[in-house]
A and B are shown apart, each in its own frame.
Chain A
């Protein structure tokens, strides 16, 4: 018994001296690490054609004839032969540092490169050449214009490990943190088709580009020789631009601006349709505009709806109907079918013959994909998302048939 008394004492001693709970927390997250670049150094780098690259972080997408042009965020543009949508073929890759947006007009590809606008001759997609560089037009990207410095961001995976003792002061709650941080043809020219998230668009011999707070206007009546015309201040939170019948529909986080661009060089504001602070691409067909509003990390208050707005009188846009959505992103309309990307929830198709009841006429809902933007191309419905580029036969919107999937390499 004496031995057990000693053992019991030992156990109590051991217990009192080492009874501390511990937690080892390992956090792995993506962080945008800023770095500085000299614009003059960037311009010295040859804008080059490269062998085909695999998709890694696709951004904006543009359809032109039998070709797809897909932005690789801040890296350049993939050129894809899409003659057969069931078997798209990577042709080459255009290295364009800082590229985010693109548009194509009469075999001339316009692309941004940080502060510059570049024009490429793509009449031979195998041998694409830089035709012109318009310097310093996107000067809002300068962080120090006098020294010619811009700021770039590198996506870095960070892993942090830390350990600490658990106490009831900490309540043992799981540690959480917010994510760190940290992509028509008009007149005599032949334009391609961009998505509803596009920030570059073409209309009436003009290239319109939007930054977060302004409209930059270029005269492209001579496609190879884009000429910067002027900058129009739009206010903050500008996200997307959509052209329709001499008007520009500009999506911002607080509303949809309507500009009359009958005189291409002098767009005149007609009205602003205001809504809750939210992310909102816009498209237009006939006398209705379709706006999706969504919540999310960068969309602040946010709500998740499809708004149908009567724009017959563009000076007085009127909300006609509103339908709840899951997390709507990009959208497109083709004849009587409206397609809406629902983010990680998938892609929905609606019958749009009666815009006032469109939300009640769902035709199909693909739930096995993650969709951020969609283009109703001449040959296929092109859906972009974090898992790559999908193409569907949409001749029957009630039964979308997948034609192909361009997968991504791991980030």
Chain B
């Protein structure tokens, strides 16, 4: 768990540094993934992108971490945002991200194998300008993420006796708060 948190913090830090020095835009978010009959789980993500003033949009890459009970997924996806009223202090926006969730942070073995899967995350949000360069973001959306876990059982002579594969399809409401520059 501590390794997971360390890697997540590192990713956030690197992204922050990169965003400060150029015309790139970035946004770091923390949030919850909420579902029916399950406890909310935490998620973080960092968007690094480019402003496209002509279309009042931002496009870039989002990386993150979603810590489900069953496994931790690192989603890496392409993101696009549309901010139709950039001049306002309260800027509504639409966002859509789609990509692949990586399962590298889970400890695999000969017997246990984790695989990631597709992920997409449409959301709406508001951006609040502040007196500094920073801006605050609140968003709500829907996140669908796939992953799989395979458990192989062997007898005492190493013969494979059973294979159990669980294909997870997580469908959660995503609620997040973040800071961008």
Contacts and interface: CB of A to CB of B under 8 A. Distances in A.
B140 A8 contact: yes
Given A1-B92, A297-B155, A15 B142 contact: yes
A372 B173 CA distance: 53
A249 B162 CA distance: 36
B124 A8 contact: yes
Contacts of A27: 162-164
A166 B35 CA distance: 10
B70 A11 contact: no
A167 B159 CA distance: 34
B166 A386 contact: no
Interface in A344-359: 344
Contact of B39 (A14, A18, A168, A175): A168
Contacts of B53: none
Nearest to A28: B163
Given A11-B122, A27-B164, A168-B38, A370 B171 contact: no
A21 B35 contact: yes
Contacts, number: 133
A19 B69 contact: no
Contacts of B36: 16, 19-20
Interface string B139-165: 011100000010101111111011111
B137 to A, nearest CB: 14
Contact of A167 (B37, B140, B161): B37
A167 B163 contact: no
A12 B140 contact: yes
A29 B162 contact: yes
B15 to A, nearest CB: 25
A344 B156 contact: yes
A147 interface: no
Contacts of B68: 172
A155 B38 CA distance: 40
A386 B160 CA distance: 10
Nearest to A16: B173
A35 interface: no
Contacts of A372: 157
A344 B37 contact: no
B168 interface: yes
Contacts of B35: 19-21
A316 interface: no
Given A11-B140, A11-B142, A174-B70, A20 B171 contact: yes
A188 interface: no
Contacts of B141: 11, 15
A165 B168 CA distance: 10
Contacts of A40: none
Nearest to A369: B158
Contacts of A14: 142
A27 B150 CA distance: 10
A172 to B, nearest CB: 4
A367 to B, nearest CB: 12
Contacts of A169: 37
B98 to A, nearest CB: 16
Interface stretch (A62-70, A119-127, A131-139, A176-184): A176-184
A22 B161 contact: no
Contact of B167 (A15, A26, A171, A172): A26
Contacts of A87: none
Contact of B173 (A12, A171, A174, A297): A12
Contacts of B155: 179, 296-297
Interface string A145-171: 000000000000000000001111101
A294 interface: yes
Contact of A177 (B38, B39, B162, B167): B162
Contact of B164 (A166, A175, A297): A175
Interface in A1-51: 1, 4, 7-8, 11-12, 14-16, 18-30
A175 B37 contact: no
A14 B37 CA distance: 16
Contact of B171 (A8, A18, A25): A18
A386 B159 contact: yes
A19 B142 contact: yes
Contact of B158 (A18, A26, A344): A344
A206 interface: no
A23 B37 contact: no
B136 interface: no
A256 B126 CA distance: 78
User: Which of A8, A26, A166 has the most chain B CB within a 10 Å cutoff?
Assistant: A166
Nearest to B35: A19
A168 B157 CA distance: 36
Contacts of A180: 162
Nearest to A7: B124
Contacts of B173: 11-12, 15-16, 19
B161 A30 contact: yes
6 contacts: A15-B141, A23-B166, A24-B167, A165-B37, A177-B162, A370-B159
Given A172-B68, A327-B156, 6 more contacts: A4-B94, A7-B94, A15-B173, A168-B37, A174-B70, A344-B157
Interface of B: 34-39, 68-70, 92, 94, 122-124, 126, 140-142, 149, 151, 153-159, 161-173
